[in-house]
Amino acid sequence: GALGGLGLALGLWRRHTALAASREDEEDKELRQRFMAPPVSGLRELRRRRRELRSRMELLIMETQAEVCRALAALDPGASFSVDTWERKEGGGGISCVLQDGEVFEKAGVNVSVVSGLLSEEAARQMRSRGKSLKAKDGKLPFCAMGVSSVIHPKNPHVPTMHFNYRYFEIEEADGTKQWWFGGGTDLTPTYLNEEDAVHFHKTLKEACDKHDLKLYPKYKKWCDDYFYIKHRGERRGIGGIFFDDVDSPSKEEVFQFVKSCAKAVVPCYIPIVKKHCHDSFTPEEKLWQQLRRGRYVEFNLVYDRGTKFGLLTPGSRIESILMSLPLTARWEYMHTPPESSKEAEILEVLRNPKDWVH
């Protein structure tokens, strides 16, 4: 009788194990179909650590990448994303999805990176200059960083450029304690001002922030206006959105949920604007103004952007991914000034004096 009971228990256990394995296979299949490529950490590892925030963040950035790529591809059916997976010998890797020379998008890139290793001295210096007290062990600071980042440059000058980035950082100090923080944001760079689009974009981001705390949108809107400032031109890169960095309170879970709301707001804040204008007619003069504004975009990214600088200072980083944010085409003209009271002068006014779009 005891042996029969043992046999029955073994049979049930085997069946349970087989069911669990087939359920895991189904989950894996579903995830593989949902993503643009297999996750950097591997599905098995992510499942093993599924309760850890690092795994949940990696799944979120993978889902965001796929969601945005599919929404863009649906608007530009003749074009397709090239998907590159890359590895970093110091630890980790990434997935770069880039669409070039489509009908609607001149260049659209959506990158995921999950990297780990030791922080370079320059990168650590950059962080300390922002007020981080990092205590290294024998000069070494193990770190883990992951994020999704995207820049979309449309062909039509009446469709704005859009950028977003959401990231998570973890550093282990000499005594084993871990410092962690989140950063990110979403911002819009139109060539011409359309008030209705500006209001829609900002309202959608405000709604995402308001779910968590009514103080967040005004705080992060101002941070965005201050951050994307081209000092040598005295103007902002665009009409802003939200931007934040080094956020490590009230709790890891609460900040993660906030970042998740922001990531989910990317498609609804931007795609309706693209749909609305991608077939607008435009003149050669309007195209020229778009090229000049793109030049300003490049200036900001190469001179001031902290993410670009951090990437260039990180050993083993992939330069192609870091410079993916640059447009396919841009222009710099000597002493170009638009005529007073023109549409071109109107956007410059807003770039010099940011507006409150939602009140």
Q: Which residue has the tokens 């579903």?
A: 30
Q: Which residue has the tokens 């990214």?
A: 301
Angle at CA of residue 113, ends 107 and 117, nearest 5°: 145
How many secondary structure helices (H) and strands (E) does the chain include? 12, 9
User: Once rounded to an integer, what is the mean pLDDT over residues 7-26?
Assistant: 70
User: Once rounded to an integer, what is the mean pLDDT over residues 109-124?
Assistant: 86
pTM for this one?
Answer: 0.89
* Of the candidates 153, 159, 167, 347, the residue with the CA atom closest to the CA atom of residue 256: 167
User: Once rounded to an integer, what is the mean pLDDT over residues 272-284?
Assistant: 98
Q: Which pLDDT score, from 0 to 100, does residue 258 have?
A: 98
Q: Rounded mean pLDDT of the chain?
A: 91
The torsion angles phi and psi of 141, rounded to 5 degrees, stand at -130, 100
Q: Which pLDDT score, from 0 to 100, does residue 5 have?
A: 67
The string of DSSP codes covering 179-234 is EEEEEEEEEEE-SS--HHHHHHHHHHHHHHHHTT-TTHHHHHHHHHHHHTEETTTT
pLDDT-above-90 percentage for the chain: 70
124: three-class secondary structure by DSSP: helix
Distance CA 52, CA 50 (A): 6
* Of the candidates 115, 212, 106, the residue with the CA atom closest to the CA atom of residue 161: 106
pLDDT surpasses 90 at 264: yes
Beta strands across the sheet bearing 178-189? 82-87, 92-100, 105-118, 142-154, 161-172, 178-189, 240-247
Candidate CATH numbers 3.40.1500.10, 3.30.70.3170, 3.40.120.10, 3.40.50.150; the one for domain 33-352? 3.40.1500.10
pLDDT surpasses 70 at 23: no
* Of the candidates 349, 339, 237, the residue with the CA atom closest to the CA atom of residue 285: 339
Q: Which pLDDT score, from 0 to 100, does residue 277 have?
A: 98
Q: Which pLDDT score, from 0 to 100, does residue 322 have?
A: 87
The pLDDT confidence band at residue 21, using thresholds 50, 70 and 90, is low
**Mean pLDDT: which of 165-174, 319-328, 348-357 is highest?**
348-357
Q: Which amino acid would we find at residue 115?
A: V
Range of lowest pLDDT (6-15, 148-157, 238-247): 6-15
Measured between alpha carbons, how far is residue 269 from residues 34, 228, 315 in Å?
A: 22, 19, 35
The pLDDT confidence band at residue 4, using thresholds 50, 70 and 90, is low
Q: Which pLDDT score, from 0 to 100, does residue 174 have?
A: 76
Q: Are 234 and 352 in contact (CB under 8 A)?
A: yes
Catalytic residues: 163
Range of lowest pLDDT (7-16, 96-105, 212-221): 7-16
